[in-house]
Amino acid sequence: MAALMLALGVVVVPVGASAAEGDVGVEGPSHSGTGTPTGTKRATSALWFNDGLWWGNLWDTASSDFHIFRFNAATSAWVDTGVATDTRSNTHHDVLWDGATLHVASYRFVNDGLPAEPNFPSTMRRFSYDPGTKTYSLQSATNINNYRVETLSIDKDSTGRVWATWQQGNRVYLNVTGTDGRTWGTPFPHPASLSNVSVDDSSAVIAFGPGKIGVMWSRQLDDSSDGMYWSYHVDGASNTDWTTPVAAVSGQRSGDDHMNLKWLDSSGGRVFAAIKTSFTSAAQPLIQLLALNGTTWSAHTIATVSECPNRVIVLIDESAQRLRTFATYPKPSGTTNAGTCTSSGGAIYEKSTPLDNISFSSAKTARIVDADQYVHNVTSTKQNLNSAARGTAGSGLLLLADVNATSRYWHIYDPSGGGGSGGDTTAPVVSGTSPAEGATGVAVTADVTATFSEAMDASTVGSGTFTLESGTGAVTASVTLNGAGNVATLSPDADLAAGTRFTATIEGGSAGVKDAAGNALASDKTWTFTTASAGGGGTPETVTLTATADSYVAGTSAGTNYGSSTLLGVDKSPVEVTYLKFDLSAYAGRTLESATLQLRSAGSGSKGTQNVKLVGVDTWTEGGITYTNRPALGSSIATFGPTTANTNYSVPLTVAGLAGELGQELSLGLDTGSSDGLDLNSREAGSAAAPKLVLALR
């Protein structure tokens, strides 16, 4: 059996002598007396991480109510704190820890397809936390609405107001507190006409931004406008002032009432939604990951109908920079009812993907398996995992699920996190600098930048750990970290002295800069450069950058993403457009003297001429761009062609068009007026063939 489980990619966790052969995970307390205690529609969360510990909202069979439980990682067991969160059985809950206050929203639930029912209050209880005694105390209890609903979720905006959403009377409803976070107003429907939904639809709310609260809902009216819709509210605006809904996905059967939302806190507007569709053909997606980047949604298949997944959630592991999804799939071989596709449950499996290149393979890892019974309804936390910035550094992963037949909780705890890869214990390195080591003729107006191998903890990167000095003393300057967290820029308060040698230093060690997981730069990074003499030209610095993202889009397959392809297509008929992205963050304040785009043709050359154009929007992603959501091409900065197969090309670019791009990302697009298409190598074809940008800088 052990060999069989290893062959399946199963992580077997010791659970003691009473564990059945084939079990994965740990059997927890009984929840006899209440049904489906971890919820059913995935909009809600039952766990949270606080004060270096995991906590959960679990049913206590002895007292017949829900309590706050503390997770003992050493024994992999739940400890009842005795603090009640709801005395009612058969309730579902959404738990929010905001760093200071615990919010527990509780509601009596109706079954699938039944309307909301009045005279059953949904409540929110708020608890304070004492780190000295590691105990929670009730602060207040108020009513959100007066309805029994299918699902209800909460989140808190930047002004301190807590929002809630649910479906009632075939409309998406909302309510919000005052800035005290506890005094609820009057529930109201979302103002858009597209918020009229079926009795089987639901909604979920999430804070993102900064400064916004978003709501997603399913719409299943059996017409072309069906799908998953998104709208947001700017913090501080009128309660009913919401943006016009947009469809994250649309079309008949493209949505269902299962959704789970997360926000990548460090990246502004990136929101992720794990959803279920209503498709029925074997090759169609049954669960998907919807990704919002700026204003554009993209869809990525997690698993198809043939894989029989259900009840999906998504977690963001910030230290590993991975999206981790968990869902119910058929049970593995060697267990009772192995391989059975049923809505009653199965086993909990994980599929994960890098954040910067979303792509889910068919491979998955078993996380919770009861060899004898079905497991279902996995839940975890609203928080991002292993995030120093969000108070979850070292959290690892904790999942909680339900075995209905035995009325037992099951859980899995992975202290390393990192998508099963052991977590992030690797020290960051400085992978590039500008000016480069030993550079001469550097402009006196230049900023100094350092590119790190991974995202850094912003609180450790500043004027105390990134310094610049000459023989006459330190240079007064400000230090900033870019949005992605991997490029630090030192901006002198005044022009540098001409004809002078400068030394830049980034401090390492325990007092120096650290990555997002808390790993320190191993030792000081020091480099020197010399500014141009007064009136002197100096020698330009040449840098070669490999594309950080590339893909092409095709008009004949408008919704298909080709980000993993080794080829890039450029054609007029059928239309194919190539997109390239380069990171110029490290070169703010420099003077661009020349720029050359290096490309290699693949197995197909072209008799036509291709255009290189600026792209004004940089929010597209390699794993998300399609013909449908492609950004518009701007002005042309080069042309090249005709071309032959398997040949290297250097294409000079117009410098004037690129000067304003230094210090940020640069996106380029390639199109053509020729029907004789060109195939180029993408970065997936290998570093030697990958698109590159060569810059001459002062």
**Boundary residue ending a domain (424, 448, 475):** 424
Residues 6+ apart with CB under 8 A from 83: 67, 68, 127, 135, 136, 137, 138
Task: List, for residues 122-141, the tens digit of each pLDDT value.
Answer: 999 999 999 999 999 999 99
Note the pLDDT of residue 483: 60
Task: List, for residues 621-633, the tens digit of each pLDDT value.
Answer: 998 999 999 999 9
HEC per residue, 152-174: CEEEECCCCCEEEEEEECCEEEE
What CATH number is given to the structural domain containing 453? Answer: 2.60.40.1220
Q: Which residue has the higher pLDDT, 74 or 380?
A: 380
Strands (E), 252-334: 259-263, 271-276, 285-293, 296-304, 310-317, 322-329
For residues 449 and 535, membership in a common domain is answered with yes
Mean pLDDT of 538-547: 83
For residues 557 and 643, membership in a common domain is answered with yes
Cβ-contact 385, 316 below 8 angstroms: yes
Cβ-contact 470, 500 below 8 angstroms: yes
Q: Specify the length of the chain in residues.
A: 698
Mean pLDDT of 589-602: 90
For residues 693 and 601, membership in a common domain is answered with yes
Note the pLDDT of residue 425: 67
How many CB atoms are located within 10 Å of the residue 82 CB?
A: 11
**Boundary residue ending a domain (408, 424, 440):** 424
Mean pLDDT of 61-68: 97
Whether the pLDDT of residue 115 is over 80: the answer is: yes
Q: What angle do CA 591, 619, 674 make, to 5 degrees?
A: 80
For residue 426, what pLDDT band results from cuts at 50, 70 and 90? confident
For residues 557 and 483, membership in a common domain is answered with no
What is the distance between the alpha carbons of residues 598 and 577, in angstroms, rounded to a whole number? Answer: 17
Note the pLDDT of residue 17: 30
Task: List, for residues 232-258, the tens digit of each pLDDT value.
Answer: 999 999 999 999 999 999 999 999 999
Q: What percent of the chain clears pLDDT 70, i.e. is strictly above it?
A: 94
Whether the pLDDT of residue 349 is over 90: the answer is: yes
Cβ-contact 548, 582 below 8 angstroms: yes
For residues 609 and 473, membership in a common domain is answered with no
Residue among 377, 441, 459 at smallest CA distance from 411: 377
Q: pLDDT averaged over the chain? A: 90
What is the distance between the alpha carbons of residues 620 and 293, in angstroms, rounded to a whole number? Answer: 7
Return the SS3 of 404: helix
Q: Based on the number of CB atoms within 10 Å of its own CB, is 497 exposed (0-12), middle (13-18) or buried (19 or more)?
A: middle
Q: What tokens were used for 582?
A: 């380069």
Q: Which residue has the higher pLDDT, 108 or 321?
A: 108
Strand partners, 213: 207, 233
For residues 566 and 624, membership in a common domain is answered with yes
Residue among 520, 509, 399, 376 at smallest CA distance from 452: 520
CA distances from 92 to 88, 257, 636, 695 (A): 10, 16, 56, 58
Mean pLDDT of 52-73: 96
For residues 411 and 443, membership in a common domain is answered with no
Note the pLDDT of residue 650: 93
For residues 665 and 635, membership in a common domain is answered with yes
Task: List, for residues 9-62, the tens digit of each pLDDT value.
Answer: 333 333 333 357 789 999 999 999 999 999 998 999 999 999 999 999 999 999
Whether the pLDDT of residue 6 is over 70: the answer is: no
Note the pLDDT of residue 567: 92
What CATH number is given to the structural domain containing 587? Answer: 2.60.120
Mean pLDDT of 207-221: 94
Task: List, for residues 135-189, the tens digit of each pLDDT value.
Answer: 999 999 999 999 999 999 999 999 999 999 999 999 999 999 999 999 999 999 9
Side by side, which strands form the sheet with 117-130?
91-97, 101-108, 117-130, 135-148
Rg over alpha carbons for the chain, rounded to the nearest Å, is: 27
Note the pLDDT of residue 424: 57
Q: Which domain holds residue 652?
A: 543-697
Could you tell me if residue 547 is inside a domain? yes
CA distances from 104 to 118, 125, 289, 459, 650 (A): 21, 5, 27, 31, 60
Note the pLDDT of residue 15: 33
For residue 266, what pLDDT band results from cuts at 50, 70 and 90? low
For residues 412 and 438, membership in a common domain is answered with no
**Cis check: omega of the bond before 245, within 30 degrees of 0:** no
Cβ-contact 212, 232 below 8 angstroms: yes
Residue among 346, 197, 187 at smallest CA distance from 259: 197
DSSP string for 635-664: EEEEEE--B-TT-EEEEE--HHHHGGGTTS
Residues 6+ apart with CB under 8 A from 688: none
Mean pLDDT of 434-452: 88
Note the pLDDT of residue 535: 62
For residues 555 and 617, membership in a common domain is answered with yes
For residues 525 and 618, membership in a common domain is answered with no
What is the distance between the alpha carbons of residues 446 and 111, in angstroms, rounded to a whole number? Answer: 64
Of the candidate ranges 302-311, 399-408, 650-659, the one whose mean pLDDT is the lowest: 650-659
- For the entire predicted model, the pTM comes to 0.62
Task: List, for residues 455-475, the tens digit of each pLDDT value.
Answer: 788 889 999 999 999 988 999
Note the pLDDT of residue 536: 65
For residue 453, what pLDDT band results from cuts at 50, 70 and 90? confident
Mean pLDDT of 260-278: 89
